Structure 1
Amino acid sequence: MSMIFQFRMLCDEDDYFLREYEVPYDMTLAAFRDFINKDLQYRPEELTSFFTADDRWNKLQEFTAMDMGATESDGELLPQAMDRTLLSQVVRKKRDRLIYQFDVLGDRAFFLELTEAMKVEPDKRYPAVTLAEGDAPDQYRAGAGSGSGSVFDDAMGDFSDFAGTDGYGDDE
Structure 2
Amino acid sequence: MYKIRVILDTKEDVIRTILVDDNINLEKLHFIIAKAFGFEGQEMASFYRTDDEWNQGEEIPLFNMAEAGEEISMQTCILNETLPEQDNKLIYVYDFLNMWTFYVDVVEISLEKRNDLPKTILEVGKIPDEAPDKEFIAENFDDDDDDEFDIFDDFDFNEY
The TM-score by the shorter chain falls in which range? 0.7 to 0.9
For residue 108 of structure 1, what is the aligned residue in structure 2? 100
Give the CA deviation at 1:71.
Answer: 8.1
For residue 41 of structure 1, what is the aligned residue in structure 2? 38
Give the CA deviation at 1:46.
Answer: 4.3
Distance 1:136 1:88, change over 3 A: same
Quick one: which of 81, 90, 110 aligns to 1:98? 90
User: Aligned letter for 1:96?
Assistant: N
Distance 1:46 1:67, change over 3 A: farther
Separation in 1, partners of 2:20, 2:113: 12
For residue 68 of structure 1, what is the aligned residue in structure 2? 65
**How many aligned residue pairs are there?**
132
Give the CA deviation at 1:45.
Answer: 3.0
For residue 21 of structure 2, what is the aligned residue in structure 1? 24
Write the mapping of 1:91-170 to structure 2, written as runs, cut at 5 A: 91-122=83-114, 125-138=116-129, 141-143=130-132
Query: 1:79-116, CA deviations, whole angstroms, 9 ceiling, x for partnerless residues?
Result: x2111211112101111001110132444310011110
Q: Structure 2-normalised TM-score?
A: 0.73
CA contact (8 A) 2:100 2:132 kept: no
Query: Identity over the aligned pairs, expressed in percent?
Result: 25
Query: Which sections of structure 1, spanning at least 5 residues, go unmatched?
Result: 73-77, 145-172
Quick one: which of 8, 11, 15 aligns to 2:5? 8
CA contact (8 A) 2:16 2:36 kept: no
User: Aligned letter for 2:52?
Assistant: D
Separation in 1, partners of 2:20, 2:119: 7
Structure 1 residue runs of 4 or more that deviate by more than 4 Å after TM superposition: none
Distance 1:56 1:71, change over 3 A: farther
Query: Which sections of structure 2, spanning at least 5 residues, go unmatched?
Result: 134-160
Give the CA deviation at 1:28.
Answer: 0.7
